[in-house]
Homo-oligomer: A and B are copies of this chain.
Amino acid sequence: MTKYTIRKTDINKALKQADIICKRNGLRLTKLRQDVLSLILKEGGYVKAYDLLDELKKIDPSAKPPTIYRTLDFLLEHGFIHKLQSLNAFIGCSHPQDHKECYFLICNNCQKIEECCSKKINNVIKNTTSKNNFVPDQAVLEIAGTCQQCLN
């Protein structure tokens, strides 16, 4: 079990890492993309697209829905963020180089998100798909419930 939780101190690290990955892969981490990624990372938890748009407008008043959705698409495509399908929300990824899929624990009480990626989960997905002769492209695993802290 590997736990990842983004800390404020890790934001710059994550931004630098994104920069490196982009350079290595011939991707353009434009100011807009940096700004949006930075806003998402700063948030700490998950963000809704239109809340993010409101934040972005403080930097660039001309920003509009396609501005944010296109940027989110870029960041998603290259693994810098993930989409939480059951919340229609987005969250930064602290380890974009490690893997494509991320699995999440979502606390219904405090809204905190915990990544819960593990090889065991990867394996059970692999076994499930291979038994069905199914070639997986993307796996979404989101477990909602109550986190440790909220249980006390």
A residues with CB within 8 A of B: 1, 3, 85-86, 103, 105, 107-108, 114, 116, 118, 120-121, 124-125, 127-129, 131-148, 151
Contact = CB atoms under 8 A, between A and B. Distances in A.
A136 B86 CA distance: 14
Contacts of A148: 132-134
Contacts of A127: 120
26 contacts: A1-B128, A1-B132, A85-B86, A85-B142, A86-B140, A103-B128, A105-B132, A116-B128, A120-B124, A120-B127, A120-B128, A121-B128, A128-B143, A132-B148, A133-B151, A134-B145, A135-B145, A136-B144, A136-B145, A139-B141, A139-B144, A140-B140, A140-B141, A140-B142, A140-B144, A141-B141
Contact of A132 (B116, B124, B138, B139): B116
Contacts of A133: 147-148, 151
Contacts of A147: 132-134
Contacts of A151: 133, 135
Nearest to A123: B124
Contacts of A3: 132
Contacts of A105: 128-129, 132, 134
Contacts of A140: 85-86, 140-144
